[in-house]
Chains A and B, each alone.
Chain A
Amino acid sequence: MVKKSASRILCKFCAAHAEFVDFKNVKVLRRYINLDGKIQPRRYSGNCVKHQRMLASAIKKARIAALVPFVRDAVL
């Protein structure tokens, strides 16, 4: 088996000791959305399970509030 590289991607929310993810914080949410408006999976963002779940629900709330698009095409 190939050994995992030494440089591990760590959860940025854990590093910041975040206890929750705010859906109003568009600046943070945008970092975890790709060009199509999809939520970035955990294997790319390096988030822990707990924070990824919080982030996903925050993004979904932000979508309802029209802060973040559901689909990129709909932006325009």
Chain B
Amino acid sequence: MTAKSPDLASSYEILFILAGSLRDSETKKELEKWEDELSKFAKILKKANWGRRELAYKITGETTGTYFVAHFEANGAQIAEFDNSLRLDPKVIRHLIAKTPKNYEWVEYSGEDLEHDFTKLESVIAAKEEKNAKKGFGKKVFVRKGIVKKVERRVEKKADSGVINKKLDDILADL
């Protein structure tokens, strides 16, 4: 492999998640800070803020996080430093810097596209049961213990948190 000249920039993609427990004003400040830091050495081509979203699993006790994604051009050597500074910040709970694939095209994703569908599991189980019944295996479908109950709880929790968030927004708007 031949060494690249230092001014030859390649294209990268970054995604980082800020802790969902941060206040809105704080997240805004943090986002601006990291964007500034990034634009110091990189040329940002596209960026998007997905807002506060549910995480697929808990990260350091957080169940939600604010997502920021960007497509940029920079030198590999400078990225290492930036990567490290992101790692050291406790407010950034997860980050991912990856080279973009060949012929990459930026696509904007709406919130609906990214939403987890927790009700899906039940419909899948129902479909399996139907299939089994047709084949004459009997109706029972083996699902890991407690999963369905957990899904139900999660869906309920999600609905609750929506209400709470709205209330909080109202309170903050009054202030």
Contact = CB atoms under 8 A, between A and B. Distances in A.
Nearest to B54: A66
B121 to A, nearest CB: 7
Q: Which 4 A-B pairs have the closest CB atoms?
A: A20-B101, A76-B150, A74-B57, A66-B55
A32 interface: no
Interface of A: 19-27, 30, 35, 54, 61, 63-76
A25 B153 CA distance: 26
Interface of B: 15, 17, 55-59, 65, 67, 69, 94, 96, 98, 101-104, 107, 109, 113-114, 116-118, 121, 124, 143-144, 147, 150-151, 153-154
A73 B150 CA distance: 9
A21 to B, nearest CB: 8
Main secondary structure of the interface of A (DSSP, over half): loop
A36 to B, nearest CB: 8
Nearest to B57: A74
Given A54-B101, A76-B154, A64 B96 contact: yes
B57 A26 contact: no
Nearest to B114: A26
A3 to B, nearest CB: 25
Given A20-B101, A35-B124, A73-B147, A66 B59 contact: yes
